Amino acid sequence: MSLRGDVCVVTGACGFLGKKLLRLLLEEERTAEIRLLDKHVQPQLLHNLEDCRGETTLTVFEGDIRDASFLRKALHGASTVFHIASIIDVIGLVEHSELYGVNVKGTQLLLEACIQENVMSFIYTSTVEVMGPNPRGESIINGNEDTIYDSTLKFSYSKTKKEAEERTLQANGEVLQNGGRLATCALRPTYIYGDGCRFLLGHMRDGIQNRDVLYRMSEREALVNPVYVGNVAYGHLQAARSLKDPQKRNIIGGKFYFISDDTPPVSYSDFNHIVMSPLGFSIQEKLPLPLRFFYMLGFFLETLCMMLRPFIRIVPPVSRQLLTLFNTKFTFSYQKAKKDLGYEPRYSWDEARKRTTEWLASQLPLERKNLRSK
């Protein structure tokens, strides 16, 4: 089922995944219009899309996702919403109230605007972290949508993404102003990597400062399965196509799907090394401290920061929950997405790795220069 002639809204259009989805929509779907919704849309982004824009109209909507009237204007006459925008924070830099306002309330306002403006399809970008890992670090190997797991969450980020996902799925079947019904689904990508990934850039920057030796924060056995950003974008496109199909709409509506690909399971730290080793980076052979001592350090720093909280807000560089995230076996299958959405990875592991390493290589001279100038 094609999105030809549709009006699509992409929230978080200027982000890592948003940019990939925009280009994919322009290259593969002859949509009538794509609306780029973000706090600020750089003119360079529109210029970069000119080579594949064709007859599609690109319309910019700059504003706050917590502004209900702004959302109604952006969604008026739209048929499909890709809701990618969120605050991503896994170390606790952002206050919970800010995370909740954007990730939860913003999603709720967007869903309400869909109902008021008769938007038929809503695809929510969730995350594997709504599943965990839980504070006990219990493993999941090749998990799926039916996996039973005690997903007790501690991070504000994962909590807010979980609540936003629940609200999205509960909104499936809501009656629109014109009498139609809203169809929603949520996609749970594993750790997204690729050209443009700021987390990889940060790890490379840390490695440069450490004389081209990458830090190890994950034990080798803590396998996860990262997913290439181009494959995640394709998963979104397939979800939108499926929700438009009358025969699939009732099957997919109200459900979530894990999105992974054929990237080999590996620890977070070893993945960084795989994509950066061609650039001359090595990696620490083992954790600087045994993991149990890292947990003790995390507990001490968390306690100290909590005691200082009435006077000053300090975010500890190491927390027990972050250590658990980095050191828990946590892998998921994309087979249900393949069955229901027709999703299959567009990019092989070899191509995804090549694109990622080439992008990091293009950034390396500037990063070295910047660090030398400090």
pLDDT band at 373 (very low <50, low <70, confident <90, very high): confident
> What pLDDT was estimated at residue 287?
93
Distance CA 24, CA 52 (A): 9
Average pLDDT over residues 308-334: 90
Catalytic residue among 100, 124, 149, 157: 157
DSSP-based three-state secondary structure for 58: strand
Q: For residues 134 and 153, is the Cβ–Cβ distance under 8 A?
A: yes
Q: Domains (ranges, CATH) in the chain?
A: 7-197+225-264+329-347 (3.40.50.720)
- pLDDT value at position 46? 87
> Rounded mean pLDDT of 2-25?
94
| pLDDT tens track for 210-224 | 999 999 999 999 999
Given a cut of 70, whether residue 342 has pLDDT beyond it is yes
What confidence score (pLDDT) does residue 374 get?
66
Neighbours of 51 (CB within 10 A): 10
137-149: average pLDDT: 96
Rounded Cα gap, residues 232 and 225, in angstroms: 13
- Over range 216-238, report the average pLDDT: 97
- Inter-CA distances, 196 with 16, 102, 200, Å: 6, 23, 8
Residue 50 has pLDDT above 90, yes or no: no
- Mean predicted confidence (pLDDT) in 303-315: 85
**Residue 110 is encoded by which pair of tokens?**
């967007």
pTM of the full structure: 0.95
Determine what percent of the chain is predicted with pLDDT higher than 90: 78
Q: Cα separation of 16 and 230, whole Å? A: 10
**One-letter amino acid for residue 50 of the chain:** E
Catalytic status, residue 157: yes
pLDDT at 206: 95
Rounded-to-integer distance, Cα 165 and Cα 254, Å = 10
Cα-Cα-Cα-Cα dihedral sign, residues 313, 316, 320, 322: positive
Q: Can you state the angle between helices 349-373 and 268-276, rounded to 10 degrees? A: 80
How confident is the model over 41-56, as a mean pLDDT?
Answer: 88
Q: How far is CA 80 from the centre of its chain?
A: 19
Q: What is the mean pLDDT of residues 231-236?
A: 98
